[in-house]
Structure 1
Amino acid sequence: MDPKVFPTTRDAQCGMRSPTQRNLDFSAIDGLLSGVFGVNVSDVGELSGGGFAAVWRARLTDGRDVVVKIGPPPGARLLRYERDLIAAEAAYFRTVRAGAPGVPVPEVLHVADDWIVTTMLPGRSLSEPADGGGTSGTAGVREQLGTAIAGLHRITGPHFGYTGDRAAGVDWPAAYGAIIADLLADAADWAVPLPPGIDALAARHHANLARVTRPALLHFDLWDGNVLAAEGRLTGLVDGERFLWGDPLLDLVSPALFHRIEEEPEHPFLRGYTAATGLVLDDAARTRLALYRVHLYTLMLAEGPSRGIPVGRERHDYLTVLLEGELRDLK
């Protein structure tokens, strides 16, 4: 996240609470957890950073620290791919813990239709200032993150795309096309203007996208707020609800948010990932990275109104310029 443009999160609330986030308090959290764990809550606090669900830390009277994530209120308007994200998060954490046990993700303690409880991992997010101020000195953690994500990518899924009844496909070109089509439909529903030509990308680059023949486990949302660290080591990878199955290169976009990681060969995430995988960013890979930045910028534009961010503000203009640049270069 570029702090000069969006000072808080990928969802960039501009000081406002997102309509998708419920308003909760101590009694609400205590009521949820006491019914599940049979003990009361002694202390709670809302965790900042995200702009979709309400996330709280809670200490139980038996000494355990847990994290409670509660999905949007009934009737909240969501993007098409945001259906059933609480269940998706539970599935993601369980998949990672089973298939890549060396990657630090929370343990799922309880999951219901619209809320989940997990263990609380140590550390603080890379988007938070360190004790001495600033966010410098994180290169080692980012390199460790690249290595960890390489481990996740060794897990193979049953299909391409999202889980449930969300956008998916028999191959990666079909899944990518379905994902983009849903985002364009979301943007139309919310009257979000987008540059022309996005709808033609999947067909135009079908052969390149078809190079991806194995659906790898993807986190997708690897911005700094979802990466925890303590004392120079990676301690947690959280907010896995937006996971999908597809091209590993998709996960190289958000760690270098608003930048082109292929133009930064010494980027610590890329260094760690390349050391673990032997990745070579040839012309085909660079083109797919551009396609995945189009995906991310289109998503961020389409989601704005659902987060209470009006169209036409600085955020929209900035993302539009980035999106137009990727579309122009893809021609």
Structure 2
Amino acid sequence: MESVSKNRQSPAALRAMIERAYGPERVPVGDGWATELTFGWFNVAYRVRLRDGAEVVLKIAPPPHVDVMTHERDAMGTELRALELIRAHTDVPVAAAHFADHSRELCDASYFCMPYVHGENLGVLRDRLSTAEHDAYLAQLGARNREINAVRGAAFGPLAGPGDASWRRVFTGMVEHILADGERRAVALGWDHDTIRAVLAEHADSLDEVTEPRLVEWDLWDPNVLVRDGRIVCVIDHERAFFGDPLMERLFGGTQLPAFGPHDAFMRGYGHPPLTPTEQTRRRLYCLYLVLVLVVETVYREHEGTATYDWARTQLDHAMALFGRTR
């Protein structure tokens, strides 16, 4: 996916980063040792073959002059913290960070290196799978997602803090941040901000049911899963993680909006019973937040064409309709 946030670097710069991470004796020589991995939407990532034949991934944060949304600030730091938490407290397969550099001495942004994991991207593979085969992966993903959500935090909010004891305050702030991000770039939502705020205020008491901060990946769906031989071998892209309500996870979204995919196999693997009325209300609020992000980020990414924006605007209408609001 093309995005203005992808901070591509020259071969010379990449070699310098690799030397700092792995030493001069492992710096690649010749041509064809670096290939851009194109599935991501935010950071640029390269598959790199080191001189000794080992394969690694070099991931680089956006350049400092690129405007990012509030929840994307220090996204690379968030990903590194999430990797540490997942590796320390779960058996979920994730890569270990070999090296991270935040000095901005070799390029204008932070970067880190990790091993390359051989596997097929489930988002790409999905069209070649039968429903039963895809459901089997979704059930595995549900079980893995539950492991991640079992990690407890000291407070709600960003992994690096500051935290808050109230999930209602944190989630309300997240919505306000995305509305402000949209306003800063004059993004047309098709809905008045005060109408969106009114929906949140009318249903905010459902958020008070959440009292224990849990690790939430939030962006865990098919394109962020690598599979091989019928099993999940790696979960990737953790830069949107935070401590919050597990019901915010992406694949719970299908319980309220069909566009967010089938959910039965995921729910079964997760071991989650049908949502209670209060849980359904919260999940609808989370769908509303998600589609607000999807609308606003199309402008920040400067996508070519309007197809993604148009789709997201339609989903925003559907999310508002869940609360009886129509245009």
Letter in 1 for 2:303: I
What corresponds to 1:6 in structure 2? none
Residues 51 and 263 of structure 1, relative CA distance in 2, 3 Å threshold: closer
**C-alpha deviations, 1:9-30, integer Å up to 9, x for none?**
xxxx5xxx31111222433322
1:108 aligned to 87, 94, 97, which one?
A: 97
What SS does the aligned partner of 1:323 have? helix
What corresponds to 2:20 in structure 1? 35
Letter in 2 for 1:318: W
**C-alpha deviations, 1:267-310, integer Å up to 9, x for none?**
22121012xxx433111111111111111100011111111137
Q: Tell me the distance in 1 between the aligned counterparts of 2:48 and 2:261.
A: 42
2:149 aligned to 153, 166, 170, which one?
A: 153
What corresponds to 2:300 in structure 1? 306
TM superposition shift of 1:115: 0.7
* Higher deviation after alignment, 233-242 or 53-62: 53-62
Q: Tell me the distance in 2 between the aligned counterparts of 1:254 and 1:270.
A: 8
Q: Tell me the distance in 1 between the aligned counterparts of 2:253 and 2:47.
A: 25
Matched, 1:170 2:165: yes
TM superposition shift of 1:315: 2.3
Equivalent pairs: percent with the same residue? 27
Superposed structure 1 runs of 4+ greater than 3 Å apart = 163-166, 252-265
Greater helix content: 2
Q: Tell me the distance in 1 between the aligned counterparts of 2:253 and 2:197.
A: 25
What corresponds to 2:7 in structure 1? 22
Residues 325 and 283 of structure 1, relative CA distance in 2, 3 Å threshold: same
What corresponds to 2:215 in structure 1? 217
Aligned length: 307
TM score, norm. by length of structure 2: 0.87
Matched, 1:88 2:78: yes
**C-alpha deviations, 1:59-85, integer Å up to 9, x for none?**
212332211110111211110111111
TM superposition shift of 1:144: 0.5
TM superposition shift of 1:45: 0.9
2:134 aligned to 131, 138, 152, which one?
A: 138
Matched, 1:271 2:268: yes
What SS does the aligned partner of 1:241 have? coil
Matched, 1:245 2:243: yes
Letter in 2 for 1:19: V
Q: Tell me the distance in 2 between the aligned counterparts of 1:112 and 1:172.
A: 33
Letter in 2 for 1:327: M
Q: Is the 8 A contact 2:7 2:61 kept in 1?
A: yes
Q: Tell me the distance in 1 between the aligned counterparts of 2:226 and 2:207.
A: 32
Q: Is the 8 A contact 2:57 2:113 kept in 1?
A: yes
TM superposition shift of 1:193: 1.5
What corresponds to 1:181 in structure 2? 176
* CA RMSD, Structure 1 to Structure 2 (Å): 2.4
* Higher deviation after alignment, 183-192 or 134-143: 134-143
Q: Tell me the distance in 1 between the aligned counterparts of 2:48 and 2:93.
A: 20
Matched, 1:97 2:81: no
Q: Tell me the distance in 1 between the aligned counterparts of 2:50 and 2:236.
A: 21
Q: Is the 8 A contact 1:19 1:76 kept in 2?
A: yes
TM superposition shift of 1:255: 7.2
What SS does the aligned partner of 1:234 have? strand
1:326 aligned to 310, 314, 319, which one?
A: 319
Q: Is the 8 A contact 1:126 1:135 kept in 2?
A: no
TM score, norm. by length of structure 1: 0.86
Residues 213 and 319 of structure 1, relative CA distance in 2, 3 Å threshold: same
Q: Which runs of 5+ in 2 are unaligned?
A: 103-109
1:205 aligned to 203, 206, 215, which one?
A: 203
TM superposition shift of 1:206: 2.3
Q: Tell me the distance in 1 between the aligned counterparts of 2:53 and 2:261.
A: 47
Letter in 2 for 1:317: D
**C-alpha deviations, 1:184-222, integer Å up to 9, x for none?**
000001111121322234432222101011111011111
TM superposition shift of 1:327: 1.5
Q: Tell me the distance in 2 between the aligned counterparts of 1:165 and 1:218.
A: 14
**C-alpha deviations, 1:131-156, integer Å up to 9, x for none?**
xx724432212110100111111110
What corresponds to 1:60 in structure 2? 50
What corresponds to 2:105 in structure 1? none
